[in-house]
Structure 1
Amino acid sequence: MIGSLLIVGLVGYGVYWAFFDMNRLPTGEYLTEETSPNGKYTLKAYVTNGGATTSYSVRGELVFNDKDNKTKNIYWNYREESANISWTDNNTVIINGHTLDVTREKFDFRRQ
């Protein structure tokens, strides 16, 4: 019983890692960037070309300017080729119409 649960858990984690982990997204080509009003964050946008079988996608990478420029992906959307970024306050950004609190939210089209 425990062995079966362990196998199911490992398979479940493998599927998540292979298909849904935002740390494994393709790098892409740089599009644009915008810095938060207080300068604490910078959001950089990249476009990725999936080749002949898939459309373009936009990846948004949040840079922590106060923490040695550490980064994390907070935005991933399919069938987009450009990024319109605007900050509404120090922690809230709007990317192509999607509003995110950068301290706790992410947008990933695969989870919608």
Structure 2
Amino acid sequence: MLLDHDYEDEKKKVYKKLIKSFFIGFLLITGLITYGVYWLFYDYSRFKQELIVESTSPGGTYTIKAYLNNGGATVSYTVLGELVFNQQNKRPKKIYWQYREENADIVWLDDQTVRINQVQLELPHQTYDYRRGVK
């Protein structure tokens, strides 16, 4: 009788360890998948390979840094434009992304309006992504 009770206790311990191991494994795999999705779709820092031009707005409010990304032999060049807030403590914002482009011609129309390669943006809210256009 005592052996049956010890057997049941041991069985419960093993079951708890097994559930705990599956839960930790599930959290680990979920974390890795989440980071992979973030890195693939939202982390634009990997596109900042070569700074090609930097331009500050007439009033000094913003600076736009344009980076050229070489995707390799099978992918064309990409230009990424990043808005830096000079007078505010904010993180830089991706405002321009153009595929099959190698240059960035930045023209300031005023302190809030910029034209990058013939795409006009009202800063700081509008962005341009070649897949979706101006937003």
| Same structural fold, with TM-score higher than 0.5 when normalized by the shorter chain | yes
TM-score, with structure 1 as normaliser: 0.77
Which one has more relative contact order, counting CA pairs under 8 Å at least 6 apart? 1
TM-score, with structure 2 as normaliser: 0.65
Which amino acid counterpart does residue 44 of structure 1 have in structure 2?
K
1:11 aligns to what? none
Distance (Å, rounded) in 2 between the aligned partners of 1:66 and 1:111: 29
Q: Which has the higher strand share?
A: 1
1:111 aligns to what? 132
Runs of 4+ in 1 over 4 A off after TM superposition: 16-20, 22-25
Cα distance, 1:22 vs structure 2: 6.8
The equivalent position to 2:95 in structure 1, one of 74, 98, 105, is 74
Which amino acid counterpart does residue 54 of structure 2 have in structure 1?
E
Cα distance, 1:24 vs structure 2: 6.0
Aligned residues: 99
2:116 aligns to what? 95
Distance (Å, rounded) in 2 between the aligned partners of 1:63 and 1:38: 13
Distance (Å, rounded) in 2 between the aligned partners of 1:98 and 1:25: 23
Which amino acid counterpart does residue 97 of structure 1 have in structure 2?
Q
**Identical amino acids, percent of aligned pairs:** 47
Cα distance, 1:70 vs structure 2: 3.0
Q: Which has the higher helix share?
A: 2
Spell out, residue by residue over 1:63-98, the C-alpha distance to the aligned partner (whole angstroms, 9 max, x if none).
000124631110000000011001001100000000
2:107 aligns to what? 86
The equivalent position to 1:39 in structure 2, one of 53, 56, 60, is 60
Q: How does 1:12-51 map to 2 (within 5 A)?
A: 21=42, 23=44, 26-51=47-72
Which amino acid counterpart does residue 96 of structure 1 have in structure 2?
N
**8 Å contact kept, 2:47–2:67:** no
Query: Of the two, which has the highest radius of gyration?
Result: 2
